[in-house]
Every structure is written in structure tokens, then in C-alpha cells.
Structure 1
Amino acid sequence: MKTLNKLLRIATVTGLICFTTISCENVLVNEDPNGTIIDDLSPEVVMPGAQTRPSQVFMTRMNQLGNTMIATWSGNAQQIQAPFFTEFSYQITPDFYDEIWDRMFVRASNLTNISNFSGAGNYDYFKAAAKILRAFYFQYLVDIYGDIPYTESHLRGDNLFPSYDDQEDIYRLLVDEVDEAIDLINNTDTATAIDMGGNDVMLNGDMTGWKKFGYTVKLRLLVRLMELAETDGATQTYIQEEFANLNGPDAIFLDLGEDVTINPGYSDESTRMNPFAETFGYDPGQFGNQASATVSNVTVGPTTFLVEFLDGTSNGVVDGRLSRLYTIRGGQTAIQGNTQGGPGQPSRLGLGLLSSPDQDGYIMTASESLFLQAEAVQRGYLTSGDAKTLFQDGIRASFDRLGASGVTTYLTNSDNVAGIGWDGSTDKIEAIITQKWIDLGGTNGLETWIEFNRTGYPSNMPLPELASEPTQPKRILYPTSEYSGNTANVSAFGQTTASAFNTSIFWDVN
């Protein structure tokens, strides 16, 4: 286990600021669950790694899981034998994407340690940021696993066998955690509060930005409950009560140009690149060189369903985002897709997703925030803003982030088209979620899979050719590590492979 002196020496060398992925990993302490060293480290030392390490899983494995569970990503069967065979054949076992649980739970513990730090100094800003980011990631854990340890998580030697909390209860506790964070920001003694500054590799200590992020995370938690609220009076009452806060004068959300990103100092070196770029991009010093593409880069491409959705085949509207999301491989004259499990060769990831080895990593985008606001206004919960304007601003933010041209023409041409345009869609929620699927495919595939499970949109989503079940999965299973390390608590759920398809997350009422 790392010693305190070594950690402090690393902190001194980095000036308490995490400039590279390597230094972020060095200030992470999680090797010994019984250790107490982390409690002695100040939030300045812990925060860069606490932000960076979970984001690595989020941008890679969690992103890939979502993109392959619905019809966003296909595989290049011309160069890779049986690409994504496990995903497309739905071989969901406790080992399927188990690193999401194994890594995210451990890495989020540093956010918990910052939140609970009791040493000298006014670290309210650090604690607030940690609480918001913890809520952001724990929501995803609930969204794909259901019940999880929450109130007893990260107690280390005090409780090595944490019990599982009810998933619906956790959602409400996460809302409370965000509220606590915003209260810390609003009510701290600003004269003594320690500025995060460069120790914050996401928002550089911008506490207004953290409030916007926090309020947007709270909005997402509540929006996820809205389908359930249509048939559950207690949930309906709860949402209405919480929106009294979101409709108040203090509530502010991420807006155009206000993406929440992370960059601890990514560079064009092995293990120091942006994790998405390193996983799905190119070897160090070879960015853009197809001969030095990673296996993932060679493997990944769009589905035929997605390409035809964006090139005008399905709906008559050409979407300029297609040429930024994907680009042709050698020998192709136009962007093409493949079915999931099919024999073809799809095009590859484009510059809107892979721009450089040191590109910023996306945590939460302005477009997602605007689509969330549009849905909340349309359903009558959020009282500020016009739903159509927010919806179209979400599309504008999407085009802008991807570097796509022609947004004005697209908005005009799509407006009267059912399923993608506002005026042409009888079901406005379908248009919102479908646009979110287009926008976040590649950037945050997990969100699109979760939203598909919540709403059923995009409609007519095809199954993989290799699918062993008649529907897409609703969740993944608790990992092998839980069965070996927390046996009594996890075994009570009696999960089987079928559980991934017949046991919904609590908000999934479709």
C-alpha cells in the first residue's frame, strides 16, 4: 500500500494539482479497504483523482455498454472476428461488464472521503463538488443495477459487507445529497472557503458552474421518475414537491455552451490520453493514422438503423451530425452502417467524437440539460422556459459540440417530421428522447440505453441479429466480486441471466 510520505511527495511534485492521468492515479488510495491513510489527506490532494478515475470507466466501458445495448454501435465484421459477440448475443452473466461495478464503486469512495472530510479548513466547495459528482455516478449505478449498497457504502473496515438499499429510496437520498451540496455552496463562509481552483480538473473551481451541474443532476433524477409518476401518486407528489425548489429563483441549469467536461492534462502519450480517445482512437503519436488505430477503433462503427436515420433514408431529413459522428473507411464512398451481429463493415468514428488525444472528456453536456428541461416543461413540472425553444436549443448545442454545420437548415427541415421535429410530433417526448439518442450516441451511450428503457424511444429499435431474447435487456447483473465478497447480501436477490430481461429498474413502467 502506498505510504503517506509517498503520496505527499507526489502531491508536492504536482503542486496539489493533477496535470496528468498518471498523477491522478497516484493520488488515488483504495488498495486497502481497512486503511485510514485517506482520511488524513486533504481534499486538494484527493480531488483530482476522485474526479478523474470514475470518469475513465464512464467514458469507456459504460459508454460502450449503452451504445451496444441499443442500435447505436455495430461491429466491423470484415476485420474483427465476431465483433461484440457477447453484447449482441445477450450473454449477460455476472462477469458481463463487471468492471463497471468493481471500478466505479471503489473509485467513487474518494468522493465519499472528500464529502466526509473532518480536518481543519473550510472545504465546503470541495465537499459540495464531491457530493454532486457522487450523486451523478450513483444514479447510473442504480439505473443499471437497481438496489445497491448506498448508506453503508465506502465504510471500509467499519463494514466490509454493506447491505443493499432500496433503489427508489436511493434516488431520494441522491436528491437530498445534491440539495446538501447546493446549500454548502450558497451558505459557506466565503471569506474562509478554500478555492478549488486547479485542483478541480472539471470546472476549475467555478462554483456557479457546480451549482448548474448540481441542479441539472437533480433535474435528471426527477425526470427519470416522471413515467412512474403517471401511475404512482406518491411519486407524483414527491416530484411536485421537489420541483418547488427547481422552480425557485436560485435554480440554474446548464445552458448552451456549458458542457461539464474533464481534462486533468491529457497528452499524446500512452496511459495519458483522454480515455475515450485512447480506447477508441489511435496509438500515441499516431492520431488519425488508420494503420495505428486501436482494436476498438477498428471494431466500432454505426448501425444501419442509425445511418439511415441520419442520412435521410428513414425520414427524408439529412442530419449534418452524421458526418461528424462517423467518417468513411478506406474504399467507402459514403458513410455506411452494419446490423448488430451482421457481416458488414461499418464506417468508423468521426472527428466529432475523436478530435485529438488530449480532447476534453464529456461528463454532462449542455444538450442533455436542455433536453431534460424541455421534457420537464412539456410535462408541466418546470415552469420556466418554452419547451420547443429548449428542445431546439438542445439540437443547436448538439450540433455545436460535434462541430456539425447546417443546424438552421436541419431545424427547418425536421420541424414538421414526426419523431424528430417539434411541430410534426404528436408525442413531444418521442422527439426529445430520439434527439437525445442521436446527440449522445458515442458520448454517453449509457444514458441513451437507460432512456430507451424508460420511454421506449427511439421506436422500432431493431434487435441484434444474434439476440437470444425477444427484447433488449433492462439491466445488468451483480458481479462475481459481490458473490464472493458480499455473499449473504447479494444472494438474497436470486438473480439469473433472465433477471437482466425480466426485472426492471423501479422507474421502468413500460
Structure 2
Amino acid sequence: MRLIKYIKAGLCASLFMAVVGCNDYLDINNNPNQVTTATPQLALPSALATTGWYLSGNVPPGSGTTANTNFYFLNLWMGYWNWSGNYSIATSDKNYQFTQGFNNSIWSSAYLNLSNYNYIENQATTLNQPILRGMAKIMKALHFHILVDTYGDVPYRSALQGTTNILPSYESGQVIYEDLFKQIDSAMVFLNNSEGTLNPGANDIMFGGDVSKWLKFGNTLKLRMLLRQSEKPERAQFIQSQLAIINASGYGFLGPRENASVNPGYSNSQNQQNPLYGAFYAINGNPTTLNNQYKGNLYGITFYQQTNDPRLNAYYRPVAGTTSQFNGTYFGTTDPLVNSQVSDIGPGVLQNVSQSSPVLQSHESLFMQSEAAQRGWIQGDPKALYQSAITESFLNVGRTAAEATTYYAQPGVADVNWEASPNKLEAIITQKWASENGTAPFEAWSDYRRLGLPATIPISQDPSTTVRQIPVRLLYPTSEYSNNATNVAAQGTINQFTSKIFWMK
């Protein structure tokens, strides 16, 4: 069932509006001359669709811009993509020396959509709709944890108050994290004790109103946040206490074929395409500028070739005029190749105009479970979970389970074959990295900051790269220094290489 007509219903007030503004199918405004109050079930699909765009899209639908606005750049840092030689790229985009103006919409988009979820939660509370209330609380936790992982300390309890508090204070990332676990637990209570109450059904464009999957999603999100803290010994007690709650819940985690992904009814119409696909292809599949701007990174291509990985053909396309030749360049190279000599982004990433937007895919969940089992945190066979995760990653990019079995059964191939891998954790994270190409670079960046894996990801080759290190965070946006100067200044001098997120070593 297509939900475009539902997503267009509602209001477009200054506080409650999707980050894309009042344009097309992500809008929550129907008539600009008649402001109405959207019910939470009508507001939900717009907020969920915006989350999908936020995590995997590039530019807001209908914005008319091709500038980087979200997490695309992490595909460059993580060895998946590189710039095409047909374009002149700013030096600051190649040597990590970005400024406060770099990708400011990561901040603003998050808080705008958090306002949407806050509205849904408040309205659901007023109308006694616990299912919608629980869904909104979990999605707020998702966005706040990503903000912490991106910036460290951020406005939290004093945020989302509109004109009541226009100068929100900052809270420590660790304090925010700890409260997010409480918020998810509270959400699960609402979800689990909601029999006979309104279920949004098809308006839940992520799980179709399946409460059991929302409960699994909540646990999986908590597991992700616990693993973020795995390298901090002083967090061990907190981790164990939270694992006890997860294990006692009985809800489990997202498993095979249980992708948390959103789809409001993407179609081959203006501003209604899947946001990732639409950033590369215009209506009817005609290439856009961005299709030529991003190309394959030689690091990623080489990895899949050396491990005999059939996902090579999913993540990249053969060089033009060939059927089996793949080529790329390293990030920051001074000798980038022109379009005709390098591989395009592949059909497993850009599948079709109506593909769903990933929020947290099944293979990521299973890789996390494998790591947690390997650490002794949860019950389960880490090898079986590892192999299941690889299989899911194959299926999610259009390959087959049989191909996955052949792949991970290769004898003697470390970081692929479980028995052949001397470091099981390294194998898990390496394969997790291999599965996130193009669709979840933020998770790859987070694992790299946490564990330094894969250790061979190359630093930018641009000769002006004076700090030979992938940044550990982004800088607070220009808007904060202009509009919330006292509170952001209290955070001190921020450096993208040394101002670490609290869970980093």
C-alpha cells in the first residue's frame, strides 16, 4: 500500500515540520492556507521517511541542491568510494581540514526530525496511544545516539522545547547515553502493554505495525550503544547491568530477513524516489551529475577481489565497455581517473527507484550479536551468527545464500573463513565493514573509531593532509556559534582529531 497521500496530510508549523520543508511527498502539510493538527499516526510516516533520508540520502528531496548534506562523505573516508577525476574537489574535502560549516545539516536535520518525533510522542500521550508513544521514543533515542556519536556532548533535556528554551544547554554524551537506555525501556513498556489500543498499521512504514519487531529493534539499538562502549573498562558495570535487562526481556534482536528500513511508497516521480537512488538517477533512470561524481575506491574494490567476494558486482559496476574489469582510485589521490576508467556505484547499492531506505539492517544486527556472543555478553554461537550475518548481507544486495556459503567456506582465507581467522573479533568487524558499503558508512566509521578496524583503511593521499588520521568527530555547526554561543563555547576548543566521543579509547 502506498502512503504518499497519508504523508502529505497534516500540518507544517514552525516547530513540527519534516526537515525537507513543505515540499512533495515527505511533507506534512496539505493546504498552506489551512493549518491543522496532524494526528500522531498521520505524522509518523513523514518522520520515519525523513529518518531514512537522513541516514542514506544525500540532499533533501525538492531542495534543488547537489551539495553534500548528510553522511555520504563517510563512504570516502571508509574506503568505499572516491571522487571522480572529472571534478575539481575542494582541498578541505580531501585532507580532513573541514570547518564549522561542514555538513551542518547533519545537526539541523536531526533536531528538526527529533521535533517531529517529540510531537508524535506528546500527541500520543494526550490521546492515550501507547504504541505510537513507544515508537516515537525509540526513534528519538536513535537520533540522539547518532548525534552523540557524531558530536559528543549535545543539547538533550533542554532541547526540543521550542520558544520555551531557545538556548539549550549541553549535556555529556555519557549522561545522554545512560538516559537513552531508560527511554527505550520506557518505550518497550508502552509497546508491550498496548493490547486493544490504536496500532498505526500501514502508517508504520518501517515495520507495518509489528510490535514484536519494534521490541527487537529497541533491544538491537541498545546492543549497538553497549558495543560502542566496549573498549572502556570503566563502563563494564553499566554494560553488564544493561545486558541483564536485555537478556531478561525475552524480546531478542532483529534476525534474518528482519530489516529496519522505511518505505513510504517510493516511485519514479519527481522528489518521490528512494533518496539514495534519487541522488544518482533522475526520473526514468537518466544519470545525474552525482552519478558521475562518486566512483569506486580502489581499497574496497581490491578487498572484494582478493577475498573472491561476489558482492564486488553488487557494490561496483564494471568499467565502461567491459563486463568484468573493475577499477578505482584511493581517496585524496592527486591523479584521479576520469569517469570512463573507473567503476560506478553498483546495482546492489542502487537497486531500483522504490528500494527501501535502511535504518538498521539485518546483517548489522547479526554482526553485532556475533561480536556480543564472542565477548561472552549474550548466549549464542558467534560463528553461526557471523555466517548468518554474511548471508544476510549477500541477500540485502541481491546476491544469493548459496553464494554466501561458498564465500565464507573458502579454506584458509582469514577475515572470511571463521576457522582460518586468528582474530575472531577482527574477522567480525572486517566482514561487517564489507557489508556496509554505500548504505551504512556511519556504522563503519563508528567501528573504526572504536576498534581501529579494518586497520588497513588508507588515509587520504592528498599531499596537504598534514594530520594523517581519519577524524574522530565533526565540529559543532556554525549556527550554534551564532545562536547558542555561550553554551557551545562552554564545550571548549573542539578539534576533529583529538576531541573524542566519550566511548572512544
- Distance in structure 2 (CA, Å) of the matches to 1:10 and 1:111: 16
Q: Is the 8 A contact 1:90 1:468 kept in 2?
A: no
299, 307, 310: which one aligns with 1:320 = 310
The C-alpha deviation readout for 1:396-453, integer Å capped at 9, x for no partner, is: 000011112411110111x643333322222211111111111011011111011100
Cα shift at 1:202: 1.3
Which of 108, 112, 121 matches 1:102?
108
User: Paired residue for 1:308, among 294, 302, 306?
Assistant: 302
CA contact (8 A) 1:259 1:362 kept: yes
Q: Deviations along 1:241-300, whole A, 9 cap, x unmatched?
A: 111122225231111111111111111112111100111x21101x2xxxx312222111
Alpha-carbon distance in 2 for matches of 1:60, 1:491: 31
TM-score (norm 2): 0.88
Q: What is the aligned partner in structure 2 of residue 4 from structure 1?
A: none
Task: Give the C-alpha shift of residue 371 in structure 1.
Answer: 0.5
Partner of 2:257: 257
- What CA deviation, in whole Å up to 9, does each residue of 1:363-412 have, x standing for no partner? 11000000010111111111x21011001100000001111241111011
Secondary structure in structure 2 of the residue aligned to 1:362:
strand
May I ask how many residue pairs the two structures share in their alignment?
A: 468
Match of 1:293 among 267, 287, 294: 287
1:88 is displaced (CA, Å) by 2.0
Partner amino acid, structure 1, of 2:320: G
In structure 1, how many angstroms separate the alpha carbons of the residues matched to 2:239 and 2:472?
24
Residues 194 and 49 of structure 1: is their aligned pair in 2 closer, same or farther, counting only changes over 3 Å? same
Partner of 1:473: 471
Give the match for residue 42 of structure 1: 39
Per the TM alignment, residue 302 of structure 1 is displaced from its structure 2 partner at its CA by: 2.1
Query: Letter of the aligned partner of 1:99 in structure 2?
Result: S
Conserved in 2, the CA contact under 8 Å of 1:27 and 1:49?
no
Question: What is the distance in 2 between the residues matched to 1:112 and 1:58?
Answer: 19
Residue of 54, 66, 81 corresponding to 2:88 = 81
Aligned-pair CA distance for 1:106: 1.1
Q: Does 1:484 align with 2:482?
A: yes
Q: d(CA) in 2 for partners of 1:245 and 1:8?
A: 36
1:449, 1:155 → 2: CA distance?
31
Q: Aligned partners of 2:446 and 2:168: how far apart in 1?
A: 26
AA at the equivalent of 2:88: Q
Q: Evaluate the alpha carbon distance shift between residue 70 and residue 493 of structure 1 in structure 2; reply closer, same or farther with a 3 A threshold.
A: same
Match of 1:165 among 168, 171, 174: 171
Shift in alpha-carbon separation, 1:353–1:9, aligned structure 2, 3 A? closer
Answer with 329-338 or 132-141: which moved more: 329-338
Runs of 4+ in 1 over 6 A off after TM superposition: none
Deviation at 1:122, TM superposition (A): 2.8
- Determine the C-alpha separation between the residues in 1 that align with 2:283 and 2:301: 30
Partner secondary structure for residue 82 of structure 2: strand
* 1:311 match: secondary structure: helix
CA contact (8 A) 2:28 2:43 kept: no
Query: How far is the alpha carbon of 1:360 from its aligned partner?
Result: 1.0
Does residue 203 in structure 1 map to residue 194 in structure 2?
A: no
State how 1:149-164 maps to structure 2 within 5 Å: 149-164=155-170
Deviation at 1:60, TM superposition (A): 2.4
How many Å separate the matches in 2 of 1:503 and 1:448? 19
The alignment partner of 2:358 has SS state of strand
Residue 25 of structure 1 corresponds to 27
Q: Is the 8 A contact 1:163 1:489 kept in 2?
A: yes
Aligned to 2:3: none
Does structure 1 conserve the Cα–Cα contact (< 8 Å) formed by 2:152 and 2:502? yes
CA contact (8 A) 1:66 1:447 kept: no
Correspondence for 1:68 among 66, 76, 88: 76
Q: Is the 8 A contact 1:115 1:131 kept in 2?
A: yes
Distance 2:53 2:397 in 1: 21
Q: Distance in 2 between matches of 1:27 and 1:108?
A: 18
Check whether the contact 2:8–2:28 (CA below 8 A) recurs between aligned residues. Answer: no
Aligned to 2:166, the other structure's residue is in SS state coil
Deviations 1:108-158 (A, max 9, x none): 211112222266533111111111111112111111100001111110011
Question: Distance in 2 between the 1:353 and 1:187 partners?
Answer: 38
Output the CA distance in 2 between the equivalents of 1:47 and 1:266. 16
Larger mean CA deviation between 144-153 and 55-64 belongs to: 55-64
- Conserved? CA contact 2:7–2:46, under 8 Å: no
Instruction: Name the SS for the 2:369 alignment partner.
Output: helix
Q: Alpha carbons of 1:318 and 1:340: their partners in 2 closer, same or farther (altered >3 Å)?
A: same
The residue type equivalent to 2:265 in the other structure is G
Shift of residue 91, structure 1, vs aligned partner: 2.5
* Secondary structure at 1:373 match in 2: helix
**Equivalent residue for 2:389, pick from 364, 386, 394:** 394
Q: Percent of aligned positions with the same letter in both sequences?
A: 32
Q: CA deviation at 1:74?
A: 1.0
Give the distance between the partners of 1:411 and 1:448, measured in 2 at CA: 20
Which residue does the alignment assign to 2:66?
A: none
Aligned-partner Cα distance in 1 for 2:288–2:216: 36
Residue number in structure 1 paired with 2:358: 362
Q: Which letter maps to 2:271?
A: T
Contact 1:21 1:265 in 2 (8 A): no
Residue number among 92, 98, 112 corresponding to 2:98 in the alignment? 92
Query: 1:242-253, aligned counterparts within 5 Å?
Result: 242-248=242-248, 250-253=250-253
Structure 2 letter corresponding to 1:475 = R
- Indicate the residue corresponding to 1:124 in structure 2: 130
Tell me if structure 2 keeps the 8 A contact 1:68–1:87: no
Find the aligned partners of 2:251 and 2:124 in 1 and give their Cα distance: 29
Contact 1:258 1:366 in 2 (8 A): yes
SS in structure 1 at match of 2:295: strand
Q: Is the 8 A contact 1:27 1:46 kept in 2?
A: no
Structure 1, residues 17-37: CA drift from partner, whole Å, max 9, x if none? x9x9823323499x9xxxxx8
* Matching of residue 115 in structure 1 with residue 118 in structure 2: no
User: What CA deviation, in whole Å up to 9, does each residue of 1:141-187 have, x standing for no partner?
Assistant: 11110000111111001101100011001111111111111111112
CA contact (8 A) 1:63 1:445 kept: yes
SS at match of 1:10: coil
Q: Does 1:504 align with 2:495?
A: no
In structure 1, the residue matched to 2:493 is 495
Match of 1:142 among 133, 148, 153: 148
**Partner Cα distance (1:328, 1:21) in 2:** 37
The 5 A counterparts of 1:219-238 are: 219-228=223-232, 231-232=233-234, 235-238=235-238
Change (3 A) 1:227 1:442: same
Shift of 1:98: 0.9
Q: Distance in 1 between matches of 2:126 and 2:101?
A: 43
Match of 1:34 in 2: none
1:283 maps to amino acid: A
The answer to whether the 8 Å contact 1:220/1:372 transfers is yes
